[in-house]
Amino acid sequence: MRDEMPYTARVIRPDRAPAFRDPGIRNGFVHVPATITTQPTRTALLPAKARVAAVVPAVPQISLQGVQKTYPNGTVALRDVTLEIPKQDFVFLVGPSGAGKSTLVRLLIREEKATAGSIHIEGQDLSRLKRRHLPYLRRKIGMVFQDFKLLPNLTVFQNVAFALRVTEGALRHLKPKVEEVLSIVGLEGKESKYPDQLSGGEQQRVAIARALVHDPRIFLADEPTGNLDPATSWEIIQLLLQINARGTTVLMATHNREIVDVMRRRVVAIEGGQIVRDEDAGGYHAPALESH
Ligand SMILES: Nc1ncnc2c1ncn2[C@@H]1O[C@H](COP(=O)(O)OP(=O)(O)OP(=O)(O)O)[C@@H](O)[C@H]1O
Ligand SMILES: [Mg+2]
């Protein structure tokens, strides 16, 4: 009855091997895939063929293939970018000013269109997405920026509720949801404050709450700590970690060297519009090459 024994096997984590043709290579860089030990599961009771099917990789949640972006003025912001991000990954996007980080983020929410190549989100080809379907894409994606982008004449509660784009009458029905996200970001009791009555960290929390109100599956943050002091920046990172632990994929563009170095998460480095490094558990800079 060997098949009924719980079994343990080392497998390549299927969702971390998007380039399954060759799981050791990611974006052309040698990459050691994360491995897991499967827990004894019901798959142990399945015939061998079915067990193989159980570890077949899922489509990456975010996939860019040979993406180029040339702005109308001729600036080439991204060139031949191929990047795959599995569900629930946490990725830092680093690189010097003008490298193309924000452009990449803007392509993912279809604020800009790629000039060449393809972008898929959960299997959906963004180049084929009709304008009227954009709200569905954007509901899947929560987004925060360096400058918070709150509406100054609305209270904290209204800023978050406004993301749901409903009438005043219906707002009452959304109260529990708005309160839930405000409590996730630790802003209970601040509902009736206006943005200029809040600290920078609190304003970023409101922006995060607003981004969470649709229960997004992907969370994009473009330099979310750019205007914050180090202690407040760490609080925001803790929040992003919590969001990630709840199952949301997080992609954060940042210049914050300390945070990237301490966190040891996946780092995608971009320079001159090209990916120059893609490392699991990476640092802000590439490890120095040993000199002989
Ligand atoms: N709307 C635009 N029109 C023309 N060129 C643009 C536009 N937006 C960005 N660029 C150019 O594209 C390149 C990439 O810019 P991007 O904003 O993506 O860089 P970034 O990595 O986010 O930089 P930073 O770290 O300063 O935010 C730069 O050369 C920039 O000048
Ligand atoms: Mg930018």
pTM for this structure?
0.82
pLDDT digits (tens, 9 = 90+) for 10-60: 333 444 433 333 333 344 343 333 333 333 334 445 455 555 555 555 689
* Pocket lining: 102 vs ligand 1, CB cutoff 6 Å: yes
Higher pLDDT, 18 or 112: 112
Domains observed in the chain: 2-54 (no CATH), 62-279 (3.40.50.300)
Helix H, strand E, coil C: the string for the chain is CHHHCCCCCEEECHHHCCCCCCCCEECCEECCCCEEECCCCHHHHCCHHHHHHHCCCCCCCEEEEEEEEECCCCCEEEEEEEEEECCCCEEEEECCCCCCHHHHHHHHCCCCCCCEEEEEECCEEHHHCCHHHHHHHHHHEEEEECCCCCCCCCCHHHHHHHCCCCCHHHHHHHHHHHHHHHHHCCCCCCCCCCHHHCCHHHHHHHHHHHHHCCCCCEEEEECCCCCCCHHHHHHHHHHHHHHHHCCCEEEEECCCHHHHHHHCCEEEEEECCEEEEEECCCCCCCCCCCCC
pLDDT digits (tens, 9 = 90+) for 117-145: 999 999 999 999 999 999 999 999 999 99
* Average pLDDT for 233-242: 96
* Pocket lining: 269 vs ligand 1, CB cutoff 6 Å: no
* Average pLDDT for 222-244: 96
Q: Which of 68, 69, 93, 101 to mutate to test the pocket of ligand 1 (most atoms within 8 A of CB)?
A: 101
The answer to whether residue 110 scores a pLDDT higher than 90 is yes
pLDDT digits (tens, 9 = 90+) for 135-190: 999 999 999 999 999 999 999 999 999 888 766 567 677 889 999 999 999 999 99
* Average pLDDT for 203-226: 96
Q: What pLDDT score does 33 carry?
A: 36
* Pocket lining: 100 vs ligand 1, CB cutoff 6 Å: yes
